[in-house]
Structure 1
Amino acid sequence: MRILIFGATGMVGQGALREFLRDSDVTQVVTLGRKATGQSHPKLREIVRDDLLHHGDIEPELGGFDACLFCLGITSAGMKEADYARITYDIPLAAAQALLQASPKAVFIHVSGAGADSTETGRVMWARIKGRAENALLRLPFRAVYILRPAIIQPMHGIRSRTALYNVLYRGFAPFWPLLERWVPDYVTSTERIGRAMLALVQDGGPSRILECAEINQVANGDKI
């Protein structure tokens, strides 16, 4: 399988990259983003570019993929709605539409978030925009489109967030992960489980097109839903 990953330098993207590089069915992973991952692997090829809204100049390079994992995201804190919409809606739609032209039979997996507003009418700005992005992506005629809505994500295997504040919070929460897993298991996942869930969705399909945190964990663990 050939896999394309947007946002492979982020926390979720790093987890996805790790799991797909480790899988024997994957022959190549191509990452596309503004920064290189800093990793070296025989299966890995990187495309670094500033413009993530227009892909016409690299359309030939987007052909032949079996799946695309869109892991790029940003916190809405302190952002104006138009700026947040550009990153959360415009960029994933541009990526999906470009890939659809070059690899129409691919599986497209988009990492959204718990609480996304599918009605697109709620008062919470970030939830409304995430919901709008989800709905637009689900309308595209790929072989399959899956939306992942993780909640609390534990970074594993040395993976770090690009947001400094999150890293501080993760370090502070480190002793409490086992308790969170026990108290709110349906709201806690990890970078490893998200990556494994993505791999399972590409290989075997999934139980639904939108997977909440608990379903992500079940798919990652190979449980029947």
Structure 2
Amino acid sequence: MNVLIFGASGMVGQGALREALLATDVDQIFVIGRRPLVDHHERLTQLICEDFTQLPQVIEQLPVIDACFFCLGQSSSGMSEQQYHALTYELTLSAAQALVQKNAKMIFIYVSGAGTDSSEQGKSMWARVKGSTENVLLDCGFSAVYLFRPAVIQPLDGILSKTASYRIFYQLMPPLFPLLKRLFPQHILTTRDMGQAMLNAVRYGYPTSILEVKDIATLAKQ
């Protein structure tokens, strides 16, 4: 299969990229981002897009893609709803529309978040925007769309978050993760879980489009 990853420099995206590189059934991996990654591999092709208004033109350069792992995301902290909508809903939809025109048989996996508001009517701004993004993706025309809603994600394999506050949090958390996983098994995932679950969604499918933490954990183990 040929896989496209958005947000490969982020924590979840790094996990998806690592697992895709380890997978023997992934033929080629394409990454679209603003800056080049330090990773180099014969099966990895990087496309630089500094201006995401040019995203459809960059996507047009791709060969047939079987699955897109959309791991691109940003905290809503300090943003207006209009700003967050542009960076979340509009950017994701721009990519999805260009990709579905290229190959409607593609499987699209979107990393959302626990607490996302599918009704789009709740008080939480980020949850409404994520909810509207999920809803529009379901109607884009892909053969399958899977909406991942993780909560706490434990980074493994030297993976780091790009967000400074998150990096500090994860530097302090390792001694506590084993205890937290025992106490809250339905809330803790790892970057390996996320990457494996994305690949398994493409390989085997899943009964529901919205995957909460327990669904992601189940799919990662298939």
The TM-score normalised by the length of structure 1 is 0.96
Letter in 1 for 2:189: T
Identical-residue share of aligned pairs (%): 47
* SS of residue paired to 1:110: strand
Measure, in 2, the Cα distance between the counterparts of 1:56 and 1:111: 20
> Does 2:70 match 1:70?
yes
- Report 1:86-101 matches (<5 A): 86-101=86-101
Report deviation, 1:35. Answer: 1.5
Q: Is the 8 A contact 1:7 1:70 kept in 2?
A: yes
Q: CA deviation at 1:141?
A: 1.1
Alignment of 1:145-160 (within 5 A): 145-160=145-160
Please tell me whether the aligned partners of residues 49 and 58 of structure 2 are also in contact (alpha carbons under 8 angstroms): no
Deviation at 1:38, TM superposition (A): 1.0
Q: Indicate whether 1:11 and 2:2 are aligned.
A: no
The Cα of 1:27 is off from its aligned counterpart by 0.7
Partner residue in 1 for 2:124 = 124
Counterparts of 1:92 and 1:206, CA distance in 2: 22
Q: How much does 1:18 deviate?
A: 0.4
Instruction: Please give the per-residue CA displacement for 1:114-153, whole angstroms capped at 9, x wherever unaligned.
Output: 0000000001100010000000001111111000000000
The alpha-carbon deviation at position 78 of structure 1 amounts to 1.2
Q: Does the 8 Å CA contact 1:62/1:99 hold for their aligned counterparts?
A: no
Question: Displacement, 1:15?
Answer: 0.2
- Indicate if the aligned counterparts of 2:118 and 2:132 stay in contact, CA closer than 8 A: yes
Deviation at 1:58, TM superposition (A): 2.8
Q: Does 1:138 align with 2:129?
A: no
Q: Secondary structure at the match of 2:39?
A: coil
Q: How many residues align?
A: 222
- Note the residue ranges of structure 1 that are not aligned, 5 or more in a row: none
2:29 corresponds to which residue?
A: 29
Which residue of structure 1 lines up, in the alignment, with residue 43 of structure 2?
43
AA aligned to 1:106 is M
C-alpha spacing 1:49/1:59, structure 2 compared with 1 (3 Å): closer
Given that residues 115 and 127 in structure 1 are in contact (C-alpha distance below 8 angstroms), is that contact kept between their aligned partners in structure 2? yes
8 Å Cα contact 2:19/2:196 also seen in 1: yes
Aligned to 1:197: 197
Partners of 1:62 and 1:103 within 8 A in 2: no
- Pair 1:208 & 2:208 matched: yes
CA contact (8 A) 2:56 2:95 kept: no
Is the Cα–Cα contact under 8 Å of residues 10 and 71 in structure 2 kept in the other structure?
yes
CA drift of 1:59 comes to 4.2
- 2:88 counterpart letter in structure 1: T
The answer to which of 95-104 and 58-67 deviates more is 58-67
CA separation in 2, counterparts of 1:22 and 1:56?
Answer: 29
Helix, strand or coil at the partner of 1:26: coil
For each residue in 1:19-52, what CA deviation from the matched residue of structure 2 results, as whole angstroms up to 9, or x when unmatched?
0111111110000011212101110000011122
Q: Which amino acid aligns with 1:10?
A: G
- Which amino acid is 2:216 matched to? I
Query: Following TM superposition, by how much is the alpha carbon of 1:55 offset from its aligned partner in structure 2, in angstroms?
Result: 2.8
Amino acid at match of 2:10: G
Q: Contact 1:53/1:90 (CA < 8 Å) preserved in 2?
A: no
- Cα separation, 2, equivalents of 1:155 and 1:73: 16
> Which residue does the alignment assign to 2:112?
112
Q: C-alpha deviations, 1:66-111, integer Å up to 9, x for none?
A: 0001000011111111111111111111110000111211000000
Which ranges in structure 2 are unaligned for 5 or more consecutive residues?
none
Task: Assess if the C-alpha contact under 8 Å between 2:11 and 2:191 holds in 1.
Answer: yes
